Amino acid sequence: MTITIRVGIVLVSSVFSFLVESFPTSTINSFCKRSSLHYASPTRILLSEIKKLKADDDLGGSNMFRKQDIVNRVEELEQSFATRLLDDKLIKPDNDLTRFEPLVGLYNVTHVVQKPERENDNPVGGKWTRKSNKLTSLVRPPRTYQHLLPTNYTGQGKLQVSIKGNTTDESRMATVVAEAVNVISFDSIFFNLIKLHIILRGDAVALNKSERKENERKYNQSLSNFAVKAFFDPPRIVLGKRGRLGNFQLGPPTSVVLDTTYNDAVVRVGKGGSSGTRFIFSRCREGQDSRLAKEFLTFINRKPTRRRRILATIVTIGTSTSWFALNREAKVLSTFVAILTFFSAALVTISTGGVEQDEYDRMTK
């Protein structure tokens, strides 16, 4: 009996080995690939649908149903995330700031889900990426990032920030939980010879329960305890591959409230604190993707030229040139230089650095 069983096992093994060797390797790999697609994670499927949507846009095709499908998938992810946190008792108290550690990473801005009444808004990139901006029609679409980095990762951050409470005379010192860096990178300006980077660096602090309640009352947008308020420095405008053609800081300091409604090893979903707009961020992969995402570190630690110094330079050069032309009895040239100097100084004075101040939770704020 024992001998019979052993003989049977040997025969079955031999037949199995023969069948495996008979199938081409490409057939087996193809089968495995189809199987892995069948069991793809919901976030991988979401990214695939977003990629198809962008392809439809490029071809000018109809994408209404695909857009709605993406909205439904994002809502399902958010619901599953909230349920998992609740069921697994992973919701940490407000005083436990380690809850933000899984959110840290380098992120591409992959897609934006807007409410119908906000379809004409431009929540990513402000004035720099608007379709009406002549720059966007002359160059390739920019790369856009929204990184959440460890506190003071760049060496430019703070450890604590003063945040106003529900009344103007109430404030508190809040611990910074992460450093937020938003980047817009144009790679192909002036025949691919010049790069342009717009960088916003800020410190993110967690909102407490009363501040989240106040936000809900004011904007009718509920927030989780992953909600943060990021305080950004004035925008940094950097020219050149190494930033040597110009490193300017223009515009006002700004702030933004952003919640996290989903997070895993592939995707993070952010929600605007006032608009409810969803931002789908995909984590940058190791290699070239990660290297490009870190380009801003080359420029962020260099001292920028601020508005006052830019104005002083424009006025000094303009006045000197105009005076020189006048002494040479070139009155027309002198007048032209004087007018050009005036308008250049005026533009620098009123420049917002690309920030659109009519929207509170744009990514350029």
- Answer yes or no: are the C-beta atoms of 227 and 258 closer than 8 Å: yes
Structurally, how many domains does the chain consist of?
2
Residue carrying structure tokens 């407000």: 94
Kindly indicate the confidence band of residue 305, based on its pLDDT and cuts at 50, 70 and 90: confident
* Res 242: pLDDT: 74
| Judgement on whether residues 80 and 189 belong to the same structural domain of the protein | no
pLDDT tens-place string over residues 179-225? 999 998 887 665 556 788 889 999 999 999 999 999 999 988 899 99
* Res 118: pLDDT: 60
Residue 13 lies in a domain: no
| Judgement on whether residues 195 and 328 belong to the same structural domain of the protein | yes
| Judgement on whether residues 202 and 78 belong to the same structural domain of the protein | no
- Answer yes or no: are the C-beta atoms of 351 and 250 closer than 8 Å: yes
- Answer yes or no: are the C-beta atoms of 129 and 136 closer than 8 Å: yes
| Judgement on whether residues 83 and 169 belong to the same structural domain of the protein | no
Mean pLDDT over the full length of the chain: 77
Residue 11 lies in a domain: no
Residue 8 lies in a domain: no
| Judgement on whether residues 75 and 116 belong to the same structural domain of the protein | no
What's the rounded mean pLDDT across residues 296-324?
Answer: 79
The span from the first CA to the last CA of the chain, in angstroms, equals: 79
In order, the DSSP letters of 190-227 are TTTTEEEEEEEEEEEEE--HHHHHHHHHHHS----TT-
Judged by average pLDDT, the poorest of 50-54, 71-75, 329-333 is: 329-333
Residue 102 lies in a domain: yes
- Choice between 329 and 279, residue whose per-residue pLDDT is larger: 279
Q: Which two tokens stand for residue 276?
A: 């409810």
For residue 148, pLDDT beyond 70? yes
Written as one letter, the residue type at 227 is: A
For residue 159, pLDDT beyond 80? yes
* Res 186: pLDDT: 83
CA–CA gap between residue 260 and residue 233 (Å, rounded): 22
User: Of 91, 110, 128, which residue constitutes the final position of a domain?
Assistant: 91
* Res 348: pLDDT: 62
- Answer yes or no: are the C-beta atoms of 280 and 263 closer than 8 Å: no
* Res 60: pLDDT: 58
| Judgement on whether residues 65 and 108 belong to the same structural domain of the protein | no
User: Of 30, 65, 91, which residue constitutes the final position of a domain?
Assistant: 91
* Res 300: pLDDT: 86
Residue 26 lies in a domain: no
Backbone angles phi, psi at 217, to 5 degrees: -65, -40
| Judgement on whether residues 80 and 103 belong to the same structural domain of the protein | no
- Answer yes or no: are the C-beta atoms of 179 and 157 closer than 8 Å: yes
- Which residues, 6 or more positions from 10, have their beta carbon under 8 angstroms from its beta carbon? none
Kindly indicate the confidence band of residue 121, based on its pLDDT and cuts at 50, 70 and 90: low
- Which residues, 6 or more positions from 58, have their beta carbon under 8 angstroms from its beta carbon? none
| Judgement on whether residues 160 and 67 belong to the same structural domain of the protein | no
In order, the DSSP letters of 263-329 are E-SSEEEEEETTT--EEEEEEPPTTHHHHHHTTHHHHHTSPPEEHHHHHHHHHHHHHHHHHHHHHTT
* Res 161: pLDDT: 87
pLDDT tens-place string over residues 87-116? 777 788 889 999 999 999 999 999 988 766
| Judgement on whether residues 62 and 113 belong to the same structural domain of the protein | no
Residue 15 lies in a domain: no
Residue 27 lies in a domain: no
Q: Which domain holds residue 305?
A: 94-365
- Choice between 192 and 22, residue whose per-residue pLDDT is larger: 192
Residue 109 lies in a domain: yes
Judged by average pLDDT, the poorest of 15-24, 54-63, 166-175, 226-235 is: 15-24
